[in-house]
């Protein structure tokens, strides 16, 4: 690994996990495998989110109008582009979390014996009409002004294993939406039912979106 550390020194790069493990001399096959797994899965997650964002922005012109709006700020205010990202994650990219009980536990009055496989139904919770009014409608206003409680919304998982890429995903999603709506008008040219991709449901392979340039709007 000394050669890798030297190579990192010679090509000064921004701080990163790989560099950290090389410098600490703790890079082994397990660490490398975990890093690759993290980057590959995260790239599918981010890529999938971007395609869903494209579809929703193209599907409903009001979403783009909302992204271009500048509602009054204030405590707990959320930027429209972030609200669109969060609503898209709620509708389209929340599936399930899997756990195995390592000991007998009682959760909410229910006995779960050791070694049980537990499926935490995030998709179902995100589409529960008792929590989200009209749950199959894309309505980013739900996320304006802190309308959704942390206990009702978990696209990034829960507790100790919550996704490490939350802030990154939100920031990239926001930039993506801002760029789309400030430079283009999007319309659906063709579409079909969602399909199951490598890891997640994704828009139909028949989805095609027409981009029309519009004059850049100043913020
Ligand atoms: C649309 C984007 C993303 C979604 C929906 C997402 C979703 C999730 C979910 C649901 C979990 C929890 C899995 C579980 O508890 O079983 C998770 C964990 C994780 N995510 Fe993400 N993720 C996204 C992007 C990213 C990005 C960009 C990175 C960083 C490169 C990342 C890194 C991780 C890591 C390292 C974990 C494991 C955390 C741990 O077990 O302690 N994710 N993600």
Question: In tens digits, what is the pLDDT along the chain, a chain of 219 residues?
Answer: 555 556 555 566 678 888 899 999 999 999 999 999 889 999 999 999 999 999 999 999 999 999 988 665 555 578 899 999 999 999 999 889 999 999 999 999 999 999 999 999 999 999 999 999 999 999 999 998 777 888 899 999 998 889 999 999 999 999 999 999 998 999 999 999 999 988 889 999 999 999 999 876 555
| Cα separation, 57 vs 187, whole angstroms | 8
Please report the atom of ligand 1 found closest to the CA of residue 159: 15
Task: Determine the pLDDT at residue 219.
Answer: 53
| Cα separation, 116 vs 86, whole angstroms | 32
Task: Determine the pLDDT at residue 8.
Answer: 56
Task: Determine the pLDDT at residue 78.
Answer: 83
CA distance readout (Å), 2 to 8, 13, 125 = 10, 17, 49
Task: Determine the pLDDT at residue 13.
Answer: 67
Residue 156 alpha carbon to ligand 1 centre in Å: 6
| Cα separation, 192 vs 14, whole angstroms | 42
Fold of the CATH domain 2-213: Cytochrome p450 (1.10.630)
Residue 160 alpha carbon to ligand 1 centre in Å: 12
Number of H-type helices and E-type strands within the chain: 7, 8
CA nearest ligand 1 atom 29, residue = 165
CA nearest ligand 1 atom 42, residue = 165
| Binding pocket residue ranges, ligand 1, CB within 6 Å | 38, 42, 45-46, 49, 89, 93, 97, 155-157, 161, 163-165, 168-169
Task: Determine the pLDDT at residue 197.
Answer: 87
Residue 66 alpha carbon to ligand 1 centre in Å: 28
Residue 152 alpha carbon to ligand 1 centre in Å: 18
Please report the atom of ligand 1 found closest to the CA of residue 98: 16
Residue 214 alpha carbon to ligand 1 centre in Å: 35
Neighbours of 167 (CB within 10 A): 9
Please report the atom of ligand 1 found closest to the CA of residue 48: 1
């Amino acid at each position: 690994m000394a050669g890798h550390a030297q190579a990192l020194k010679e090509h000064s790069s921004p701080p990163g996990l790989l560099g950290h493990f090389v410098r600490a001399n703790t890079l082994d096959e397990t660490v490398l495998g975990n890093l690759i797994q993290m980057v590959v899965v995260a790239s599918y997650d981010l890529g999938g989110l971007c395609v869903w964002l494209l579809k929703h922005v193209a599907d409903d012109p009001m979403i783009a109008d909302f992204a271009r709006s500048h509602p009054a700020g204030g405590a707990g205010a959320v930027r429209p582009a972030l609200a669109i990202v969060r609503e898209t994650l709620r509708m389209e990219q929340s599936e399930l979390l899997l756990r195995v009980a390592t000991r007998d536990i009682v959760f909410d009055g229910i006995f779960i014996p050791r070694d049980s496989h537990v499926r935490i139904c995030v998709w179902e919770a995100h589409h529960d009409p008792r929590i989200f009014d009209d749950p199959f409608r894309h309505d980013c206003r739900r996320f304006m002004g802190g309308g959704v409680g942390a206990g009702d919304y978990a696209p990034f998982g829960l507790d100790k294993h919550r996704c490490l890429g939350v802030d990154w995903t939100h920031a990239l999603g926001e930039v993506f939406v801002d760029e789309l709506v400030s430079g283009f008008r999007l319309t659906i040219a063709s579409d079909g039912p969602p399909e199951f991709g490598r890891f997640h449901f994704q828009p139909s392979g028949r989805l095609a979106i027409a981009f029309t340039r519009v004059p850049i709007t100043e913020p």
